[in-house]
Amino acid sequence: MNKRVSIGALFTLMAIVAAVTFSMTMVFSMSIFNDKVYNLKEREAIYSKLSEIDKIFRTNYAGQIDDKLLMDALSSGYAKGSGDAYAKYYTAEAYKKESQTAEGRIVGIGVVTNKDPSGYLVITDIYPGSTAESSGLKIGDLIIKIDETEVKAENSAQMQELLQGEPGTKIKLVVRRESEDNDLDVTRRYVDIPSVFPKMLEDNVGYLRVSNISDTTDEQFIKQLEKQIDQGARSFIVDFRNNNGGIFNSAVKILDRILPAKPIVTATYKNGKVEQTETTDSKALNMPIVILTNDKTAREAEIIAQVLKDYGKAKTVGTKTMGKGTKQDVIKLTDGSAILLTTAVYKTPESETFNLVGVKPDYEVKLTADEEKNFATLDENTDPQIKKAVEVVQGLLRAAEESAAGESTSSKPASSVSSEK
């Protein structure tokens, strides 16, 4: 039996639904409004406090306030206090240098340095054709003074910046080599930054050390890879130790040369937007690969290591990576300065995000304290991580050759197989 609903009851039901919908909309709208008002009040409180501090200083401070220095310090303080562990403020001058480095070219003496346990700067790389090379500087040298200022653990970052500057300007160094100190005057000039350092090891094992990932790293990597293949390389070790990443698109092009067309990474943004990046080249590198990593392997270098592990294209040797699985973008400000901030979290298709976790090696090999101290001078004969990588990649090559031989035998007619026994 069909039940009839009166017009009055229908209007009543519609009114109730409309009221509930309106109430829910109002609650949602008020929630957004309250959040915005709260955020506005928070910002007003920040500005009010800064204004109060500024007034106190300008009224009572006996010295002279440098407004540019103050603005830079406030901007830097905001980045540090934002909660973003990787946020950074660049002055216009610092941003210019950072941009040159990302492009693969700098003005400087042509060295890469790291902080030594002693607090001094140890030279880990020297660029070909640089004034550092022509001045006789060597990998492993310690820079203990720059322009009469002693290098210490607490000022090492500032001292590193002094190695760059304007083209044609000179810098005075005190360099320690085997306990002997020497004075050197070195001129800063434009220098192209090599980031891929090739070497052919025994048994045709190609070795490519990648120091950072700049705009030109993918071109350098592919060029050296093809060159070593032409020279007879049958397997590869790619050394990403102490590589802090860099340019995302360059890392994608490196993966594009090694992998067939596959999804490689997704980036999830604050607004929930998800971007997926895929390789597009069907050409793949069908050779055994081992990736070397340590706790200073970060960002794009970690992406390459994790993706190649995910797809079974490489084994990893060394220690766990840094775990910096986030995307940082540099946003230029109107006065030429810039802000670096985290905008997304990376995830590879076959694994959980490595952010804050790191990429674990397939074969863990740790260096001793002495080996860490003398890392810049280690080679394939003295570096236990490289030695293990050679052992692993040779094992992969043997397994691949045995597998290919087995497939070749099984594909022959039964009569052919029996006649060879």
pLDDT at 12: 58
pLDDT at 161: 87
Q: Which of 91, 92, 121, 99 is nearest to 109 (CA)?
A: 121
**pTM, to two decimals:** 0.74
CATH top class, domain 196-404: alpha beta
- Which fold is adopted by the domain 109-192? Pdz3 Domain (2.30.42)
The residue assigned the tokens 């660049």 is: 90
Per-residue confidence in pLDDT tens, the chain, 421 aa: 445 555 555 555 555 555 555 445 544 444 544 554 457 778 888 889 999 999 999 999 999 999 999 999 999 999 999 999 999 999 998 998 889 888 888 899 999 898 888 899 999 889 888 999 999 999 999 999 999 999 998 888 889 989 988 899 999 999 999 989 999 999 999 988 899 999 999 999 999 999 999 999 999 999 999 999 999 999 999 999 999 999 999 999 999 999 999 999 999 999 999 999 998 876 899 999 999 999 999 999 999 999 999 999 999 999 999 999 999 999 999 999 999 999 999 999 889 899 999 999 999 999 999 999 889 889 999 999 999 999 999 999 999 998 888 776 666 655 443 433 3
pLDDT at 106: 86
- How do beta strands 170-177 and 196-201 pair? unpaired
pLDDT at 91: 95
- How do beta strands 363-364 and 315-318 pair? parallel
Q: Report in angstroms the alpha-carbon separations of 127 from 110, 224, 288, 323.
A: 5, 16, 29, 29
∠ CA 400-404-410, rounded to 5° = 145
Rounded to an integer, what distance in angstroms lies between the CA atom of residue 421 and that of residue 414?
11
CA-based Rg of the chain, rounded to a whole angstrom? 29
Length of the chain: 421
Q: Which of 245, 312, 324 is nearest to 284 (CA)?
A: 312
Structure tokens at 105: 């070219």
For the chain, what is the total number of helices (H) and then of strands (E)? 11, 19
The residue assigned the tokens 């306990």 is: 179
Identity of the amino acid at 355: N
% helix, strand, coil for the chain, step of 5: 40, 25, 35
Structure tokens at 76: 């830097």
pLDDT at 406: 76
Quick check: 267 and 274 in contact, CB under 8 A?
yes
pLDDT at 338: 97
Identity of the amino acid at 221: F
User: Where do the domains of the chain lie?
Assistant: 109-192, 196-404
